[in-house]
Chains A and B, each alone.
Chain A
Amino acid sequence: MTWSENILHPANADASAGLLADYTPLDGLPDELLDADGQMRPVWRDLISHLARHSPEALEAQFARGASYLREAGVFYRQYGGTGQDERDWPLDPIPVLLSASEWSGIESALKQRADLLEAVLADLYGENRLTREGHLPARLIAANPEWLRPLVGVRPASGHHLHFIAFDIGRRRDGRWWVLGDRTQAPSGAGYALENRMASLHSFAGFYRSARVQRIAEFFKAFRDSLNALSGANRAGILTPGPMNDGYFEHAYIARYLGLPLLEGEDLTVSNGELMVRTISGLQPIGVLWRRMDANWADPQELEEASQIGTPGLVAALRNGQLSMVNSLGAGVLEARAFLAFLPRLSEILLGAPLAMPNVATWWCGSKAERDHVSQNAASLMIGPANAAHMTLEPDPRISLGGENRSAADQPLAEWLESSGADLVGQEVVRLSTTPVWADGRLQPRAMTLRVFLARTEDGWQAMPGGYARIAAGADPSAVSLRRGGSVADVWVASGQASVSEAVTESPPIRPYRPSAGLLPGRAADNLFWLGRYIERAEGTMRLLRAYHGRLDEMPDGTANVLTLLETIFAARDLGTGKGIPDALVEMLSAATGSAGRLRDRFSVDAWSALADLQNTVKKMRGVVQPGDDAALALGVLLRKIAGFTGLVHENMYRFSGWRFLTLGRSVERALATTRLLLDLAGPTTPEAYELCIEVADSVMTHRRRYSVHTSRASLVDLIALDPLNPRSVAFHAEEIREQISLLPGAAENRQLSPLARTALRLSTDLAVHTTDSLDPSALSVVADQITALSEQIEATYFHQI
Chain B
Amino acid sequence: MLYDVRLIISHHYPHIAVGVRQMLRLMPAARPGHQRLIAAGLTITPPPAHRGDAIDFFGNAYSSVAFDAPLEDLLFKVSARVEVTGPASAIDLSAALEDLPRELSACRDLGPASPLHFIAPTPRTPEVAEIAAYALEVTRGAGNCAEAVFALGRALHRDMRFDPEATTVDTPAAEAFRARHGVCQDFTHIMIIALRSLGIPAGYVSGVLRTQPPPGQPRLEGADAMHAWVSAWCGAAAGWIDYDPTNAVQVDAEHIFIARGRDYADVAPIRGAVRTTGEQQSTHAVDVIAVDAATRF
In the complex, A789 has a CB within 8 A of chain B = no
Residues of A near B120 (CB, < 8 A) are 143-144, 146
Residues of chain B within 8 A of A151, CB atoms compared: 56-57
Q: How far is the CB of A419 from chain B (nearest CB, A)?
A: 9
Interface-side segment among B106-114, B151-159, B184-192: B106-114
Which B residues from 23 to 58 make CB contacts under 8 A with A?
A: 23, 49-50, 56-58
**A368 and B271 in contact, given A132-B110, A139-B110, A302-B23 (Cβ under 8 angstroms):** no
**Interface presence of B117 (CB below 8 A):** yes
Judged by a CB distance under 8 angstroms, whether A322 is at the interface is no
Contact A302 B273, CB 8 Å, known A132-B110, A133-B108, A139-B114:
yes
The answer to whether B265 touches A306, judged by C-beta atoms less than 8 angstroms apart, is yes
Known pairs A306-B265, A313-B21, A803-B18; A144 contacts B110 (CB<8 A): no
- Of the candidates B19, B105, B273, which one forms a contact with A368 in the assembled complex, judged by CB atoms under 8 Å apart? B105
Q: Quick check: B21 and A143 within 8 Å, CB to CB?
A: no
If A271-B21, A305-B123, A314-B273 touch, whether A143 touches B116 (CB-CB below 8 Å) is yes
* Pairwise interchain contact B66-A314, C-beta atoms closer than 8 A: yes
In the complex, the answer to whether A139 meets B123 with C-beta atoms within 8 Å is no
Whether B21 contacts A314 by the Cβ 8 Å rule is: yes
Q: A270 at interface (Cβ–Cβ under 8 A)? A: yes
Minimal beta-carbon separation of B169 from chain A (angstroms):
11
Tell me the residues in window 97-156 of chain A with beta carbons closer than 8 Å to chain B beta carbons: 129, 132-135, 138-140, 142-144, 146, 150-151, 153
Tell whether A140 pairs with B107 under 8 Å between CB atoms, given A146-B120, A314-B21, A803-B70: yes
Given contacts A270-B19, A313-B273, contact A423 B110 (CB under 8 A): no
For A144, the closest partner residue in chain B by CB is B120
**8 Å CB contact of B272 from A134, A272, A313:** A313
B 55-95 to A, binary, CB cutoff 8 A, 1 in contact else 0: 01110000010101010000000000000000000000000
Interface string of B259-277 (1 = CB under 8 A from A): 0000001001001110100
A270 CA to B275 CA, complexed, in Å: 12
Residues of B within 8 A of A272 (CB): 66, 68
Partner of A140, one of B66, B116, B268: B116
- Tell me if A274 is interfacial: C-beta within 8 Å of chain B: yes
A317 in contact with B110 given A143-B117, A302-B273, A423-B105 (CB within 8 Å): no
Q: Give CA–CA (A575, B225) in the complex, Å.
A: 52
A630 contacts which chain B residues (CB < 8 A)?
none
Q: Are A367 and B23 in contact (CB under 8 A)?
A: no
B265 touches A139 (CB 8 A): no
In the assembled complex, the CB of B121 is this many whole angstroms from the nearest CB of chain A, namely 9
Any B CB within 8 A of the CB of A307: yes
Contact of A303 among B18, B23, B110 (CB under 8 A): B23
**Which of A143, A153, A302, A307 meets B123, CB within 8 Å?**
A307
> Is there an interface contact between B109 and A803, defined as CB atoms closer than 8 Å?
no
Q: Does B104 contact A (CB under 8 A)?
A: yes
A301 proximal to B (CB < 8 A): yes
**Residues on the B chain within 8 Å of A753, using CB:** none
A633 to B250: give the CA distance in the assembly, Å: 80
Residue of A nearest to B49 (CB): A273
Alpha-carbon separation in the docked complex, A150 to B123 (Å)? 15
Contacts of A305 in B (CB 8 A): 123
Name which residue of chain A comes closest to B266, CB basis.
Answer: A150
User: In the assembly, what is the distance between CA of A303 and CA of B266, in Å?
Assistant: 8
A133 and B273 alpha carbons, distance in the complex (Å): 37
Nearest chain B CB to A272's CB is how many angstroms away? 8
Does B5 make an interface contact (CB < 8 A)? no
Q: Are B23 and A143 in contact (CB under 8 A)?
A: no
Taking CB as reference atom, which chain B residue is nearest A368? Answer: B105
Contacts of B109 in A (CB 8 A): 133, 139
Contact B116 A317 (CB under 8 A): no
The residue on B at minimum CB distance from A142 is: B110
* B119 is an interface residue with CB less than 8 A from chain A: yes
User: Cβ of B50 and Cβ of A273 under 8 Å apart?
Assistant: yes
Interface residue total, chain B, C-beta cutoff 8 A: 33
Once the chains are docked, how many angstroms separate the CA of A271 from the CA of B272? 12
Among B19, B110, B117, B120, the most chain A Cβ lie within 10 Å of the Cβ of: B110
Q: Which residue of A lies closest to B111 (CB)?
A: A129
Given A150-B57, A302-B23, A144 and B119 contact (CB-CB distance below 8 Å): yes
A-contact bits for B217-245, CB 8 A (1 contact / 0 none): 00000000000000000000000000000
A317 to B64, Cβ gap below 8 A?
yes
Identity of the chain B residue whose Cβ is nearest the Cβ of A138 in the assembled complex: B105
Residues of B within 8 A of A314 (CB): 21, 66, 273
The CA-CA distance from A237 to B101 in the complex, in Å, is 47
On whether A301 and B57 interact (CB within 8 A), knowing A132-B108, A143-B114, A307-B123, the answer reads: no
Which residue of A has the minimal Cβ distance to B50?
A273
A153 touches B19 (CB 8 A): no
The smallest C-beta distance from B56 to any residue of chain A, in angstroms, reads 7
- A771 → chain B, closest Cβ, in Å? 38
Quote the shortest CB–CB distance from A152 to chain B (angstroms): 9
Question: B68 to chain A: closest CB distance in Å?
Answer: 8
B110 adjacent to A129 (CB under 8 Å): yes
Measured in the bound complex, the distance between the Cα atoms of B21 and A317 in whole Å is 11
Whole-angstrom distance between the alpha carbons of A139 and B109 in the complex? 7
Complex-state Cα separation, A40 to B234, whole angstroms: 65
Contact of A302 among B18, B21, B50, B107 (CB under 8 A): B21
Q: With a 10 A CB-CB cut-off, give which of A139, A144, A146, A270 has the most chain B CB atoms.
A: A139
B104 touches A140 (CB 8 A): yes
Q: In the complex the two chains form, is B19's CB within 8 Å of A803's CB? A: yes
Determine which residue in A133, A270, A303 has the highest number of CB atoms from chain B within 10 A of its CB, and name it.
A303
- In the bound complex, how far is the Cα of B117 from the Cα of A274, in angstroms? 29
> Is A143 a contact of B57 with CB atoms below 8 Å?
no
Cα of A423 to Cα of B103 in the assembled complex, Å? 13
| Complex Cα–Cα for A129 and B108 (A) | 9
Q: Complex: how many Å from CA A313 to CA B272? A: 7
Bound CA span A271–B104, Å: 39
A493-552 residues with Cβ-Cβ distance < 8 A to B are none
How near does chain B come to A334, taking the closest CB pair, in angstroms?
12
Which B residues lie within 8 Å of A302 (CB)? 21-23, 271-273
Residues of A within 8 A of B18 (CB): 803
In the docked arrangement, what's the CA distance between A208 and B50, Å? 62
In the complex, the answer to whether A140 meets B105 with C-beta atoms within 8 Å is: yes
Whole-angstrom distance between the Cβ of B173 and the nearest chain A Cβ: 15
The CA of A130 and the CA of B57, in the complex, are separated in Å by 17
Shortest Cβ gap from B110 to chain A (Å): 5
- Which A residues lie within 8 Å of B271 (CB)? 302, 306
Interface residues of A in 281-300 (CB under 8 A from B): none
Contacts of B119 in A (CB 8 A): 140, 143-144
**Per-residue CB proximity of A315-329 to B under 8 Å, as 1/0?**
001000000000000
With the chains together, A153 CA to B109 CA distance in Å? 14
Shortest beta-carbon distance from B284 to chain A in Å: 19
For B49, B268, B272, the residue with the greatest tally of chain A CB atoms inside 10 Å of its CB is B272
Q: Assess whether B116 is in contact with A153, with CB atoms less than 8 Å apart.
A: no
Q: What are 30 A-B contacts defined by CB distance under 8 Å?
A: A133-B108, A138-B105, A139-B107, A139-B108, A139-B109, A140-B105, A140-B116, A143-B114, A143-B117, A143-B120, A144-B116, A144-B119, A144-B120, A150-B117, A151-B57, A272-B66, A272-B68, A273-B66, A301-B273, A302-B22, A302-B272, A305-B123, A306-B265, A306-B271, A314-B21, A314-B66, A317-B64, A423-B105, A803-B18, A803-B70
Residues of B within 8 A of A (CB): 18-19, 21-23, 49-50, 56-58, 64, 66, 68, 70, 101, 104-105, 107-110, 114, 116-117, 119-120, 123, 265, 268, 271-273, 275
- Contacts from A to B (Cβ < 8 Å): 129, 132-135, 138-140, 142-144, 146, 150-151, 153, 270-274, 301-303, 305-307, 313-314, 317, 367-368, 423, 803
* Known contacts A140-B119, A313-B273, then 20 further A-B pairs from the complex at CB < 8 Å, ordered by chain A residue: A132-B110, A139-B114, A140-B116, A142-B110, A143-B110, A143-B119, A144-B116, A146-B120, A150-B58, A150-B117, A151-B56, A270-B19, A271-B21, A302-B21, A302-B271, A305-B123, A306-B123, A307-B123, A423-B104, A803-B18
- Lowest 3 A-B CB distances belong to which pairs? A313-B273, A143-B116, A150-B57
